[in-house]
Amino acid sequence: MSPLLFRRWRFITRAAPILLTNRPPYKFTFASVSAARFMSAFSSKQYENIIASSPEPGVALVTLNRPKALNALNSALFAELNEALQFADADREIGAIVITGSEKAFAAGADIKEMKDKSFSDVYQNKFLETWQQITTIRKPIIAAVSGYALGGGCELALMADILLASSTAKFGQPEVNIGTITGGGGSQRLARAVGKSRAMELTLTGRTWSAREAADWGMASRVVEEEKEGAVVREAVKLAAEIASKSQLAVQAQKEAVNVAFEQGLSEGLKTERRLFHMTFATADQKEGMAAFAEKRKPNFTHS
């Protein structure tokens, strides 16, 4: 194979994940996508409702960006969010993902203006909100950095993350009962798993909000980040994401799968799955490198292979 043909073959094989997940009108060219990676494409991609950036090596940051609507979640925003997350998941240079909003609102809920006139046949036949669950198919760890309001769909989005860091200003709530409906994006299921049945019943049946401290005390949030300076929770989330990104991606993704299984299977099946994933790591170069580095008292050089 000639050098030119080899370079073209290498580009096609490495760029394939982008091209396969892309849909019109988005187009990529040799100028916008590197043959080696597409981190620059992820960071420079222009969206209407989100901002995609890479503040640290190995970290993808997705910022919800509908300030006039307090980041209310509509179908257009979720389509862009799903696309950006798929890009980050396919990029070998990215090890962890952060999702955040603004200081005032992570997301103040699903967009009521989009929903209020829909009929049963419309939402049922068109599988309304079903695309929200695509976030749960992302294999890389997702950290939600929550400031301000995370209500309704915003709370449900935060609950979909693998790790939730809450600013001391965060206010959570599932107030759907106040407008004549119920949670539709997984709130009842994930909230009950996070805080228990009785508390989930109280919160969803009254529609009351709860604080960042309550979320942390109940186990819903990993911890509270005091907002001594604006953006503290995002900086902490990026720092945490960078630490995770420094590990073996194969081990991190397997560990995420193992923890998720604890919520989806019984103990016996969960233990079997964990063991199989543990055994799987012994087929990786990263396991050999990690254990050798430990024995030799040096820092490991993971290749994610």
- Active-site positions? 110, 153, 156, 176
Alpha-carbon Rg for the chain, nearest whole angstrom, is 21
Contact 156, 108 (CB under 8 A): no
How long, in residues, is the chain?
305
CA–CA distances in Å: residue 124 to residues 76, 139, 174: 19, 28, 22
How far apart CA 123 and CA 117 sit, in angstroms, is: 10
What is the residue whose two structure tokens read 């892309």? Answer: 22
CA–CA distances in Å: residue 197 to residues 151, 188, 194, 200, 292: 19, 9, 9, 5, 45
In order, the DSSP letters of 85-109 are HHHHHH-TT--EEEEE--SSEEE--
How far apart CA 56 and CA 107 sit, in angstroms, is: 24
Burial class from Cβ neighbours inside 10 Å (0-12, 13-18, 19+) for residue 116 reads exposed
- Kindly report whether the peptide bond that precedes residue 25 is cis, defined as omega within 30 degrees of 0: yes
At residue 21's C-alpha, the angle toward residues 254 and 36, to 5°, is: 75
